[in-house]
Structure 1
Amino acid sequence: MATGTVRKGDPNWWRGAVIYQVYPRSFQDTSGDGIGDLQGITARLPHIASLGVDAIWLSPFFTSPMADMGYDVSDYCNVDPMFGTLADFDAMMAECERLGLKVIIDQVISHTSDQHPWFVESRASRTNPRADWYIWADPKPDGTAPNNWLSIFGGPAWEWDGVRKQYYMHNFLSSQPDLNFHNPDVQDAVLATVKFWLDRGVHGFRLDTVNYYFHDKQLRNNPPMVYDPDSTGLETDTNPYSMQHHLYDKSQPENIDFLKRLRALLDRYDCRTTVGEVGDADRSLTTLAIYTSGNDKLHMCYTFDLLSPRFTADHIRGVVSKCQEIVTNGWVCWAFSNHDVVRHVSRFMQAPEEREPIAKIAISVLSTLRGSICLYQGEELGLPEAELSFEDLRDPYGIRFWPAFKGRDGCRTPMVWEADQPLGGFSAGPKAWLPVPPEHLPLAVSAQDGIETSILAHYRETLAFRRAHGALLDGDMTFLDTQADLLAFVREKGGERLLFVFNLTREAQDYLLPVSLADCYPLPMPGYNPPVEDKVVRLAPFDVFCARL
């Protein structure tokens, strides 16, 4: 069985690491209540290890009223009974250790649940010890909100509280009030919760909305977003949030010092890491560069640049080239899917028959990029986005903007393990928290395991290929000009130089090897071995050429 032990004990294990995201609600249910749990994750860890990944990332499992599926935390230092107990977490950690898997947990510290004791106390009066632990502001003389800031989940980012007779800020749901990081006591309390999990052995943290921690103390209005009418036009994505240029409600300079405090805490422990989620529109890569520079803040970050519907050579080359230009002293983590976006095979394919070739070439591209990579549960099976009815939705974001935006539940449906089970082996109960799409059942692990041509086998082989070549972990990356619509680049480290050419189009393409690369030796990637005739590589649609230089 493949494991992530190849870099065990290396403090830089995270550079070039492959991280597998587990969405606990939807991974494996052992209690029969239709909701995944920690014991279920433990039971299925051998599957994750078989892929050859280095770490798992667990979406939130903390105590929560679940208004936003656990991203509204009411106790940072305990497990919600829905998922099990701290003892279950410890057992999962022990099994991860046995299998050589590191554990990264979601740390949601920009906001809490309104049921967190901190907020309960804060809203009780203007004079209590935690009165300024959250962002409170007086109304304008006419009673309206302090400024024009908007919530991502719709409406103003301000909610009126009748007890304090003030507004409080919330970037997401009104039941997710934002913490006031300008208060050093808040920072201390948050870091204490981080330390709790470090002491319990976790190897790192995925930091939710890491650039949202601080707000502008003056509460200045955000200006409107200015769009170039000759390029994208006005793209609101059905949500007016994107009509503002978010200069003042996130990505504030004070965040730098807090991230340094966080890093100093992690540096007291061996082999720990952080990966920040940066959502900052056109500033995302600049913010990423700042947050990961200098070896004293975050280890790595990811942005949403490759989580778009575009799967073309131009787009990928443009994003990665810009990243290399801007992020000169930091590290990026790439992904095509996660729990917040439509599954990438559905975003990229134009017809059902393209699902399998796109699923395969997508992981081949991802595994050769410079950076660490994240995989989302089920993508190793090529699962498409689930089509759900409004009555099935649980995501407040989707419920708010239906039908223009269907929410995030379509990528969060349960993992399918057994093709011949009604709920795909996810649960022995009568019903899952979200429906298991019938079209997912034939793609279950049991249906693909042991099949040499399956997507699952392709993932295992491709990740093994990545591990076998040090140039792919943290080597340099240089893009090459092409005579056609192809993605071509060289990865190199030490004496190893590898050429990759990807045809992401639906037509056959020829790649003429440059004179400088003419003396190369084909090194077939798993699943691909196009012919070379007179220094011309003949690439079929969704084909890949690899050579050793």
Structure 2
Amino acid sequence: MTVISPDLSPRTADGRRPDPDWWRGAVIYQIYPRSFADANNDGIGDLPGITARLEHVAELGADAIWISPFFKSPMADFGYDVADYREVDPIFGTLADFDALLAKAHALGLRIIIDQVLSHTSEQHAWFKESRSSRDNPKADWYVWAEAKPDGSPPNNWLSVFGGPAWQWDSRRRQYYLHSFLTAQPDLNHHNPEVQDALLGDVRFWCERGVDGFRFDACNHQFYDRSLRDNPPADAKEQQSVTTVRPDNPYAMQRHLHDKTQPENLAFLQRVRQVLDGTGAVSIGEVGDDHPQPIMADYTEAGKRLHMAYSFALLTPYVSAKQIREQVESLELALARTGGWGCWALSNHDVPRVASRWAPANQPDPVLTRTLQALLFTLRGSVCTYQGEELGLPEADIPFELLQDPYGKTFWPEFKGRDGCRTPMPWQHDALQAGFNAGAAPWLPLGQGHGERSVDLQQADPASPLHHARALLAWRRGEARLRNGSIRFHDAAEPVLLFERARGAGPALVLAFNLGDTPVSLPLPAKLGMLLPVNGTPIAPAELLEASGDAHCAGGRCWLLPAHGAAIAVTAA
């Protein structure tokens, strides 16, 4: 068992660390609580289960944990439909269980970021129950209500992310209400100051309880065009460039000019930041939009609004080296305008696991898994890594009869839903349910072959993806050039990504990634100067050839990158 060195840095009276910028370059480990660990053996993961497994995250070397929603909810969207912002749902435990989790995390040197959904609630929330009861009750204007057109149809052409119109008829008020997601998730009316005040009060509740930050879900969905203008159609190129939904989803067929990303949101996010600054909590905003970079820059304008913005750019079915470069460079250019900060991820609870998604024929390759880990942890910005990525878990195949995801049921069979990435974590290969629990069958079946990639087996194998991830994070933690240095790309032919990370005038790290399944001879630009191996890094530099007889390297230098391989060097001082 790895020995954990406790974080002995100075703390304030409430246990916080004094470094206000810890989040810059931080690695944040996302936990989907239903599937992480089940302590009471009812088949659903819970907060005590997370607490019992926190050492795993601390040993990995993450700076913080992002926990997907655990609030009281009817679970129509598995917690993203909140019925009470200040209560833990009984399936996950109690407020006391959360306090115990928070205390243990802080003792291990981990910070806790919680998922907060401010754009909508559950239809079971007390606010919505009152709002729908009449047109003149105290909360009548707390949600987005609108009259039907003369022919009875919805007020406009806005669509739900989950399919179909974004409007649902309510017979009590004889009006439509807006739902950007499921019909069970009515949108709040942020144009009403009382709504803003109530939400900020709920954020303040968790700040005062000691959380270290928030991941704000769908944070650009918090305002709508008050004139309810129709969205225009998207052209073919725009439809193909959408990263937030599948191209066969009708939602991709519109330009979402009026149903989200409204200018009023900037002032609201400034109010959110004022609350966070009162306790030192940080924020990550999920920004899903057709052209997200300028929005991410505005939302993270230095010191004004969110601390970080979460990018969807690398959550696509497949990306080329060229696409990765374009996405990173475009975000860097936008952030430079405002002094903002980005956050990258290759997987989360909404997309197929990257070990399968980016692999040839969806067949995971252990070398590619290690290379993708290295790529993620060497990009500029902060990083979110999803539970199981450190094990190289592939996407699970869930048959329709066992499917739980309402999104998947709507778009089956072309889209098999999000359940394939939400299956239980495999902790122990020879235990019941691979150690996820010791009782009832899990809410989703274990992924095929996941038991063979369990934590205990990988712990015993020094060449495993788990040990590789630990080594990468240890390197990143002590490498200032990776945590907050600059990034600069160099030209390289597909499928190679070549860039350097630097800080000040000192030597730069040079990184090359071969995303293809055949070896590549990579000519190195002369302006990189002399390159030296990086001793002690988890990736052995590939062979460097000087004045090779290779036609592509005549008179120069080449790196020979193996299939799906990577190389790292440093420029000579």
Give TM class, smaller chain: over 0.9
- Pick the aligned partner of 2:61 from 35, 43, 52: 52
- The answer as to 2:439 corresponding to 1:417 is no
Aligned match of 1:37: 46
Q: Which amino acid aligns with 2:80?
A: Y
Query: Equivalent residue for 2:562?
Result: 540
TM-score (norm 2): 0.92
SS at match of 1:527: coil
Residues 506-548 of structure 1, C-alpha deviations (whole Å, 9 max, x = no match): 1211223333323221115313221112132221112222112
Residues 122, 186 of structure 2: 8 Å contact kept: yes
- 1:523 equivalenced with 2:534 (yes/no): yes
1:230–1:367 Cα change, 3 Å = closer
Please tell me the residue identity of whatever aligns with 1:418: Q
Alignment pair present for 1:9 and 2:18: yes
Residue 253 of structure 2 is aligned with which of 223, 240, 243? 243
Note the alpha carbon deviations across 1:356-393, whole angstroms, 9 max, x for none. 11211111001110000000001111111110111111
Deviation (angstroms), 1:233:
11
In the TM superposition, 1:262-411 aligns within 5 A as: 262-270=272-280, 272-281=281-290, 283-328=291-336, 329-351=339-361, 354-411=364-421
Please name the residue that 1:501 is paired with.
512
Matches of 1:46 and 1:168, distance apart in 2: 45
Deviations 1:138-185 (Å, cap 9, x if unpaired)? 111111111111111111111111111111100011111000000000
Match of 1:491 among 487, 491, 501: 501
Q: Secondary structure at the match of 1:423?
A: helix
CA contact 2:233–2:255 (8 Å) conserved in 1:
yes
Deviations 1:186-212 (A, max 9, x none): 000000000000000001000000000
Question: CA offsets per residue over residues 107-133 of structure 1, 9 Å max, x none?
Answer: 011000001000000011111110000
Equivalent position of 2:102 in the other structure: 93
Q: Distance in 2 between matches of 1:522 and 1:94?
A: 41
Counterpart contact for 1:96–1:103, Cα < 8 Å? yes
Residue 219 of structure 1 and its aligned partner are, at CA, apart by: 0.4
- The worse-fitting range, judged by mean Cα deviation, of 330-339 and 291-300 is 291-300
* C-alpha distance in 2 between matches for 1:156 and 1:33: 36
Q: Would you say 1:224 and 2:228 are equivalent positions? A: no
Asked if the contact 2:426/2:453 (under 8 Å) is kept, the reply is yes
The match for 2:12 is none
Matches for 1:100-115 after TM superposition, within 5 Å: 100-115=109-124
2:139 counterpart letter in structure 1: R
Judge which range, 92-101 or 511-520, deviates more.
Answer: 511-520
Instruction: Report how far residue 310 of structure 1 moved.
Output: 2.1
1:205-226 superposed Cα distances (whole Å, 9 cap, x missing partner): 0000000000000000001011
Decide which of 139, 142, 153 is 1:133's aligned counterpart.
142
Q: Who is 2:125 aligned against?
A: 116
- Inter-partner Cα distance in structure 1 for 2:79 and 2:229: 31
For residues 228 and 532 of structure 1, do their structure 2 counterparts lie closer, same or farther at Cα, with a shift above 3 Å needed? same
Q: Which runs of 5+ in 2 are unaligned?
A: 10-16, 547-556
Q: Which residue does 2:554 correspond to in 1? A: none
Cα 1:85–1:231 change in 2 (3 A) is closer
Q: Distance in 2 between matches of 1:39 and 1:321?
A: 41
Does structure 2 conserve the Cα–Cα contact (< 8 Å) formed by 1:292 and 1:298?
Answer: yes
Q: Quick one: distance in 2 between partners of 1:61 and 1:71?
A: 9
SS for the counterpart of 1:210 is coil
Letter in 2 for 1:287: I
The one-letter amino acid paired with 2:480 is G
CA distance in 1, matches of 2:167, 2:413: 25
Paired position in structure 2 for 1:71: 80
Q: Does 2:453 match 1:443?
A: yes
Report the CA distance between 1:450 and its aligned residue: 2.9
SS at match of 1:168: strand
1:499 shift after superposition = 1.0
Supply the distance in 2 between the matched residues of 1:230 and 1:151 (Cα, whole angstroms): 16
Shifted more, 512-521 versus 289-298: the winner is: 512-521
Question: Which residue pairs with 2:479 in the alignment?
Answer: 469
Judge which range, 191-200 or 483-492, deviates more.
483-492
- Residues 1:352 and 1:125: Cα distance change in structure 2 (over 3 Å): closer
496-505 vs 39-48, which deviates more?
Answer: 496-505
Structure 2 CA distance for partners of 1:532 and 1:23, relative to 1, 3 Å: same
Aligned length: 547
Distance in 2, matches of 1:451 and 1:43, equals: 23
State whether structure 2 residue 178 is matched by structure 1 residue 169: yes
Q: Tell me if the contact between 1:470 and 1:493 (Cα under 8 Å) persists in the aligned partners.
A: yes
Q: Which runs of 5+ in 1 are unaligned?
A: none
**Aligned equivalent of 2:469, options 449, 459, 466:** 459
- Please report how far the alpha carbon of residue 3 of structure 1 lies from its aligned counterpart in structure 2 after TM superposition: 6.5
Structure 1 residues 437 and 354: alpha-carbon distance in aligned structure 2, compared to 1, 3 A threshold: closer
Secondary structure of the residue that 1:295 maps to in structure 2?
coil
Q: Give 3-state SS (helix, strand or coil) of 2:502's partner.
A: strand
* Distance (Å, rounded) in 2 between the aligned partners of 1:335 and 1:364: 12
Is the 8 Å Cα contact of residues 292 and 299 (structure 1) preserved in structure 2?
A: yes
State, as a whole percentage, how many aligned pairs show the same letter.
52
Q: TM-score, normalized by length of structure 1?
A: 0.96
Paired residue secondary structure (2:177): strand
Q: What is the aligned-residue RMSD (CA, Å)?
A: 1.9
Distance in 1 separating the partners of 2:520 and 2:274: 50
